[in-house]
Amino acid sequence: MSIGIHNIRKRFGTSDVLAGVSLQIRTGELVALLGPSGCGKTTLLRIIAGLETADSGSVVCYDQDTRGQSLRDRRVGFVFQHYALFRHLTVFENIAFGLRARPRHNRPPEAEIQSRVNRLLDLIQLRAQGNRHPDQLSGGQRQRVALARALAIEPRVLLLDEPFGALDAQVRVELRRWLRQRHADLGVTTLFVTHDQEEALEVADRIVVMNGGRIEQVGVPAEVYAHPATPFVCRFLGSVNVLPASAHGSSKVYVRPHELILSRQATSDGISGCVTSISSAGPLARVELEIANAEHIEVLVAHDTATELHAVPGDALFVTPKRWHTYEEEPASETASPTDAWAI
């Protein structure tokens, strides 16, 4: 293990921002801290970096307790959402800055600095832009320079705080794919904070879903998405329809829109609904229906299926689940385990 986080607690004023967080991160792993604003993910990242101090608990990095260690001693690279590049320095000198700023006795020879920066320019595919200034680059290019600057000091751990949040949607997609493809070449344990579910699912080796200062679930992306451990995880990772499972119990049924089948024929395990709207924009058709008690659900189907149904607002259709999750609801903690059931 490269990072061991043990029972970290942090309070700001009367608020428990982190309430006993423990986590193990393996060497070379790319881990996403995912959750809504205020869940504690950035605070945890800053505690690992040494930019914040925990009230209690410990962070062990490569078998060393980091309490009392400086940011330099921890050998941590940190990339913020906003690039924070030096506008008066070239791309090359921005990347070299952390090396040149070292005390003379600890500073690499100039030839090594030149070699290391050029290797990083090749890695981020900006060798030809080395003599340019940041304002001559696109947003995605500037963020790659910020990443290279953090890597130049050869950190043991790379921490990324919403690294793609300030970029346009298309640039975000391109850059996160670049990071996923290049991570093996980087060879550094990486922990990144995001509130973007799609980003975490696409980039991370493992996802840590946080809520209210606690960890709700840890797992590989496919596991967390397909088998959410709590109602919060199920709702947070993509769209979901939440339906009462029984009039006599507190359980609810959670079904994702693409896991429902639409039909004009009644089925033994289906429910009826009235179509309220149909949208054909995008790769799938989106059908909204009103079911019992004026509840609304959303169904995603192939365009061919929507065409074959000939449905229009006001039509009655039947909805049958392909898969679903139920939880014994515990509103105070939402830590119940999922079971399989469908009993509307």
Instruction: Give mean pLDDT in consecutive 10-residue pieces for the chain, a chain of 344 residues.
Output: 91 92 94 94 93 94 84 82 85 94 90 94 91 92 89 89 79 82 83 91 94 96 94 92 64 89 87 92 91 86 91 92 80 43 39
pLDDT of residue 339: 39
In a domain, 49, yes or no: yes
CA angle 322/328/9 to nearest 5° reads 115
What's the half-sphere exposure (Cβ side, CA atoms, 13 Å) at 267?
A: 16
In a domain, 223, yes or no: yes
Alpha carbon 174 to chain centroid distance?
Answer: 16
Residue pair 213/21 in contact by the 8 Å Cβ criterion = yes
Give CA–CA dist 93/99, Å, rounded: 10
Q: What is the largest CA-CA distance in the chain?
A: 79
Residue pair 172/199 in contact by the 8 Å Cβ criterion = yes
pLDDT of residue 247: 43
Query: And the tokens for 8?
Result: 């970290």
How many domains does the chain divide into?
2
Please list, in sequence order, all residues whose beta carbon lies within 8 angstroms of the beta carbon of residue 4, skipping any fewer than 6 positions away: 23, 24, 25, 58, 59, 60, 61
Domain final residue, candidates 183, 204, 232 = 232
* Same domain? 206 vs 257: no
Residue 102, SS3 per DSSP: coil
* Same domain? 219 vs 288: no
Which CATH number covers residue 318?
2.40.50.140
Choose among 241, 247, 248, 250: nearest CA to 273. 241
* Same domain? 95 vs 31: yes
DSSP letter string, 270-287? -EEEEEEEEE--SSSEEE
In a domain, 269, yes or no: yes
For residue 304, how many other CB atoms are within 10 A of its CB? 9
- End-to-end CA separation in angstroms for the chain: 46
* Same domain? 38 vs 133: yes
Residue pair 47/60 in contact by the 8 Å Cβ criterion = no
* Same domain? 212 vs 246: no
* Same domain? 131 vs 251: no
In a domain, 320, yes or no: yes
Which CATH number covers residue 89?
3.40.50.300
Give CA–CA dist 126/141, Å, rounded: 8
* Same domain? 173 vs 269: no
pLDDT of residue 332: 46
* Same domain? 335 vs 263: yes
Domain final residue, candidates 172, 201, 232 = 232
* Same domain? 22 vs 171: yes
In a domain, 344, yes or no: no
pLDDT of residue 166: 67
* Helical spans, DSSP H, in 101-194: 110-123, 139-152, 169-186
Residue pair 202/32 in contact by the 8 Å Cβ criterion = no
Query: What's the domain range around 302?
Result: 241-339
Domain final residue, candidates 232, 257, 292 = 232
